[in-house]
Amino acid sequence: MKNILKPIFEMVTGQYILFDNIIYNYIAIAIIGVLAFKIAWNLVGNLYDSGIIIGRRSGSLIHWLIRIIMFMIIFYLFSAIIWLTKFIFTYRTTVLIIIGTIAVFVIIYKIIKKVKKMNKPIVLKENTRKRINNSLEMVNIAAGILSTANPEFSIIPIFVYAVNRTLGLASQEYITERIKKINEKLEEKKININDFKEEMLNLSQHNEYIVLNHLRNIILTCIPEMVDIYIEVLLDFIMKKEYKEKEEICEIVNQLNRNDLELLKMIKEYSENGKKEFYNKNQEKEDKKIKDNNEIINNKNQTFKRVNFVDRNVVINNRYTIFWKEFEKYYELQSAEMGLILLFNTVDENDKPSNKWAYIGRSFIKLQNLGIIEMDYINTTGNINSLNIDRFHITLFGKIILSYIKL
């Protein structure tokens, strides 16, 4: 079959001429022949793979037919390209004028289209329109909530942002209640609303972030028992400009729960009203020990020095250092070791088992971790328990937090 079809292919394709130059024409016809061959080869291969053709003869016949047809198509395509190129070079000026005219018309058309589009009303997609409407609705809701508490709040951006961030996470009634609490605290502390607004608008970027986060926490996550204290600390952060100190206090207050608050009230109650008998005896003992040591050291005839064992014995004063024995006695706990209240039930006023002191014990650990108190434990032989404490101290942060606690 090849011996028959190949001469026919050469006879047909041999009549086609692209260039007058023999060498140029030979190269061009060879390129066209290669392209026609590649296309025919791939097509016939696909036909074999799909099972449309079977056998060598049918494949060869189809190959040469496709090859002749593709040769003619590619030849005339090349001829068109060559003719167009010659035309452009021959009539360069005319072609440039035509192209320029078309370009001008295209530009004019686009300008007219743009002007018409500007005069048309903007048609938004349904989803876009819904998002915009939802955003506007949320802004209106936030403004309404803020205006209910105090109209001035609605023009303070941080308040608007904070309320927007809580919408959908809590009911509008709940959010309104918390915003009203803030306004009540402003009135209670006699803070002028214009002064407050000015301070809010002049916050640094860092402090703006702090206020925004704590406003959100006050609205959403703060338990009712802690909300008044939290708001008061945040207002002092804003108005007193005690930024570093009150930022720490806000962080601490945000982590306190009801049991922690109860322990803080117990500590404040005892520090103000509790008896300090053991504290006074301990001080007399330590004073005598220091006096004896000084006498020995100052005695020049002494051949050796007797050094008494002196423990850490940090004592701030009779208000901010509290001995465990006196604290548990004041509250009638009757537990020699604080760690035991986490292991065993105590009894309530009705002699029934109770976990109350277990919660208080856990709060002791938590308050130490938060830096509100610092505990000194008793060093014993054998096993040592860090909850077998001798005393605890109210830290600098603890003193500030206690100042916000109301008994």
Phi, psi of 316 (to 5 degrees): -80, -65
pLDDT tops 90 at residue 402: yes
What six digits make up the tokens of 98? 């035509």
Task: Let me know: does 146 contact 183? Beta carbons within 8 Å.
Answer: no
- 3-class state of residue 168 by DSSP: coil
pLDDT tops 70 at residue 131: no
pTM (two decimals): 0.61
- 3-class state of residue 85 by DSSP: helix
Residue identified by tokens 């696909």 is: 46
Report the pLDDT averaged over residues 56-80. 83
Task: Let me know: does 390 contact 378? Beta carbons within 8 Å.
Answer: yes
CA distance 76 to 265: 99
Predicted pLDDT at 353: 84
CB atoms within 10 A of CB 223: 11
| pLDDT confidence tier of residue 186, bands split at 50, 70 and 90 | very high
Q: Are strands 373-377 and 321-323 parallel, antiparallel or unpaired?
A: unpaired
User: CA angle, 336 as apex, 333 and 340 as ends, to 5°?
Assistant: 80
CB atoms within 10 A of CB 35: 16
> Chain-wide mean pLDDT for the chain?
81
In 3-state terms the chain splits into helix, strand, coil percentages (rounded to 5) of 70, 5, 25
pLDDT tops 60 at residue 134: no
Task: Let me know: does 375 contact 398? Beta carbons within 8 Å.
Answer: no
Report the pLDDT averaged over residues 275-294. 63
Strand partners, 376: 391
Question: Per residue in 115-151, is it b (16+ CB within 10 Å) or e — as a string?
Answer: eeeeeeeeeeeeeeeeeeeeeeeeeebbbebbebbbe
What are the distances in angstroms from CA 333 to CA 74, 206, 340, 407? 104, 46, 11, 20
- 3-class state of residue 282 by DSSP: helix
CB atoms within 10 A of CB 216: 18
DSSP label of 170: B
| pLDDT confidence tier of residue 178, bands split at 50, 70 and 90 | very high
pLDDT tops 90 at residue 195: yes
Task: Let me know: does 5 contact 64? Beta carbons within 8 Å.
Answer: yes
pLDDT tops 90 at residue 368: yes
Predicted pLDDT at 62: 82
